[in-house]
Structure 1
Amino acid sequence: MKQEDVSRQYQIPVEILKEYESWGLCDVVKIVMGEWQYDDQDLERLSTIMALHDLDFSHDEIETYMRLLLEEEQGEEKRMKLLTAKRQKKLADIHLEEKKLQRIDYLRHVIKKNQTK
């Protein structure tokens, strides 16, 4: 499957496809007639890349994660550490946003209280 077909069919931005190609993660060069040919393994990896993009992983974090995906034993442990660190950061962000909501609710409460006087 060609880059333009993958981009259209799976709604993957061309920039992400080019990023993936630049990493050279495939065992075999899959260029036919000057164009990269995506197979099922590529599509599976691209699905992971899209999930990592959605989770706000940086370009470097995604590349690191994908390279670790190719490692046997240590790669899995290192990927788990990356995911755990990202999870902790997301939880901290959620708690911060919850505090902000509490402040908003407090200010709304003050206004409602003043309106009933």
Structure 2
Amino acid sequence: MNRKEVQAWFPLRDEELQSFEQAGLYDHPKAENGLMEYDDKDIKRLSLLVTLTQIGMNMEDIKTYIGYERCDIDQKSKKVLLLKKHRQALLEKLHDQQKCIDCLDMLLYDLQGCCCKR
């Protein structure tokens, strides 16, 4: 499968797909023509890469996660730990955003007064 066919399956820009290739996240080299040819294993890997990207994981952590995937011994506990670490970071961002919303609501209340109907 070539790049255009892959992009028909996955919502990826050329730059994103190229960054995965340049990071060496696939287990085989590019074809002789210098372009990536994707097999079924690559498509499965790409699905994981898209998911990790969509949850906001940075390239360094993605490389670490894929390294655990490639390891001969079971690295499930390390993958779980990495995902939990990322989850915690997302929760902290969410809580910070909630504090901002609370402050905004307070400012709106001060300006507009209570808008509740009784």
Gaps of 5+ in 1: none
5-14 or 94-103: which moved more?
5-14
Shift of 1:35: 3.0
- Letter paired with 2:100: K
Whether 1:83 aligns to 2:103 is no
Instruction: Report matched runs for 1:54-93 at 5 Å.
Output: 54-93=54-93
Contact 1:2 1:38 in 2 (8 A): yes
43-52 or 33-42: which moved more?
33-42
Which residue matches 2:35? 35
1:39-79 CA-partner distances (Å, limit 9, x unpaired): 11111111111111111111111111111112244422111
- TM-score, normalised by the number of residues in structure 1: 0.80
Contact 1:4 1:14 in 2 (8 A): no
Which residue matches 1:112? 112
Gaps of 5+ in 2: none
Q: How well do the aligned residues superpose, as a CA RMSD in angstroms? A: 2.3
- Letter paired with 2:107: L
Shift of 1:113: 2.5
Shift of 1:109: 1.0
User: Which of the pair is proportionally richer in helix?
Assistant: 1
Moved over 4 A (4+): none
- TM-score, normalised by the number of residues in structure 2: 0.80
> How many residue pairs were aligned?
114
